Amino acid sequence: MSYEPEVLRRATERLKQRQQMRQATFEARREKLYQQLPRVKEIDKQLRLGVTKAATAALRHGEDPTAAIQALRTESKSLQQERKTLLLQAGYQEDDLVNRPDCPYCNDTGWRGATMCGCLKKLCAEEQIQALSSLLDFQGQSFDTFSLDYYSPTPGPSGVSPRSHMEMVRDICYNYASRFGRTGIRNLFLSGSPGLGKTFLSACIAQVVSEAGFSVVYDTAIQIFSHFEEEKFGRREAGSVQRYLSCDLLILDDLGSELTTPFLQSALYQIVNTRLISNKHTVISSNLSQREIALRYSAQVASRIAGEYRLLEFWGQDIRQLKSQLY
């Protein structure tokens, strides 16, 4: 799982802020208790400094510190018992002065060795959803609000109505998102005329997969290829396009809207091939059919999309036009 650097930065900053707030709350609670029970403060200071002082004194005189440390342990047990009694008599628990982390698995560091802890993953998912929300309408676009009413119930030449067909498309997209990485479908190619719901269902997929804790990057074809070009010619920081190659799910929207150039052909092949090799998931939406993809792009790209992507054709009339007629 590879979150974008900016998403990880913001999530890590939130984790640090939580640590600081927890530390401040603990210190305030401890200070209040110490004011009420000054003897407990004295005991804590003795316990904190005792072992170090005993060992240092013994070594200064060239003595074996073992006996001094053993004597101090006996004294420490007595002090701890006195501390416990004082706390309980004042209505506190023995562990009220223990500064426990919010996450017991990583001690609020966000990492368990080299593995990201669930607490940091959750924050990354929240930050990622917020970032995606600036590009996609998560408020109004969800699988629950995807309306089949805009698709005709009248069967076409194939004997299947646009409504029945689009219900199947919606269900495939929902299954792909809700069981992400656990279905036999790794990649989707959403094909159809403008205004049939491709971007809507792409947003639905992005939201569900992101909420499950996977890294998701959404962008239009024009923006993605622009970033590749800017990096190649030094107008963008080296490595910035890695986000498109390493995320768990890339949603490349509106393929075919860009001006096709040899460089673009190369960038598209790099995206498609790299993600296939690394077993990453990709959703591509386009107004082009698979046949038109084969005519417009290289044979290497066309064959990989045809062979490695599940084709979902979108049927019906332009929903934007239908809405404008209704309202």
Looking at residue 249, what is its pLDDT? Answer: 96
Q: Where are the domains of the chain?
A: 5-89, 135-326
Q: Name the helix (H) or strand (E) containing 188.
A: strand 187-191
Q: Report the pLDDT averaged over residues 100-110.
A: 93
| 71/74: higher pLDDT | 74
Tell me the two tokens of residue 226: 């622009």
- Residue 188, beta-bridge partner list: 283, 310
Residue 262 burial (CB < 10 Å; 0-12/13-18/19+)? exposed
Tell me the two tokens of residue 165: 């067909």
Q: Which of 54-63, 118-127, 263-272 is the least confident region?
A: 54-63
pLDDT tens digits, 36-53: 999 999 999 888 886 566
Q: How many CA atoms lie within 13 A of 113 on its CB side?
A: 1
| 275/51: higher pLDDT | 275
pTM (predicted TM-score):
0.78
pLDDT tens digits, 225-265: 999 999 887 777 767 899 999 999 999 999 999 988 999 99
Per-residue b/e over 4-43, b at no fewer than 16 CB within 10 Å? beebbebbbebbeebbeeeeeeeeeebeebeeebeebbeb
- Residue 219, beta-bridge partner list: 252
Q: Report the pLDDT averaged over residues 89-94.
A: 89
- When the pLDDT of each residue in the chain is averaged and rounded to a whole number, the result is 89
Helix (H, G, I), strand (E, B) or coil at 255: strand
pLDDT tens digits, 158-177: 899 999 999 999 999 999 99
Q: Which of 107-116, 194-203, 226-235 is the least confident region?
A: 226-235
Please report the DSSP string for 67-121 in residue order. Answer: HHHHHHHHHHHHHHHHHHHHHHHTT--TTTT----S-TTTTTSSEETTEEPHHHH
pLDDT tens digits, 283-302: 999 999 999 999 999 999 99
Please report the DSSP string for 212-254 in residue order. Answer: TT--EEEEEHHHHHHHHHHHHTTSS-TTTTHHHHHSSEEEEEE
The CATH architecture assigned to 135-326 reads 3-Layer(aba) Sandwich (3.40)
